[in-house]
Amino acid sequence: MNVYRIPMWRSQGIATALLKIISFVRATEAKCLWLHATDDSKPMYEKFGFVLTSKEMEIVYY
């Protein structure tokens, strides 16, 4: 449900490794993923294709 990066472990690739699940999701019937991101984490999610909407970030597969 939530990912929190302890400051001393940030920029170590841990959250990036977890986000590789996106490739699995693309192989399913799922069409969208949503998440709530902090200002600090938005750039990381944007690298994976998430875009900011009015309340959350999302990635859509059509």
For residue range 24-59, list pLDDT tens digits in order. 888 888 888 888 888 888 888 888 888 988 777 777
Q: What is the pTM of this model?
A: 0.64
Whose CA is closest to 58, among 40, 42, 35, 38? 35
Give CA–CA dist 20/37, Å, rounded: 17
Per-residue pLDDT tens digits for 6-19: 788 888 888 778 88
- By the 10 Å C-beta count (0-12 exposed, 13-18 middle, 19+ buried), 25 is classed as middle
Provide the token pair at 26: 């693309």
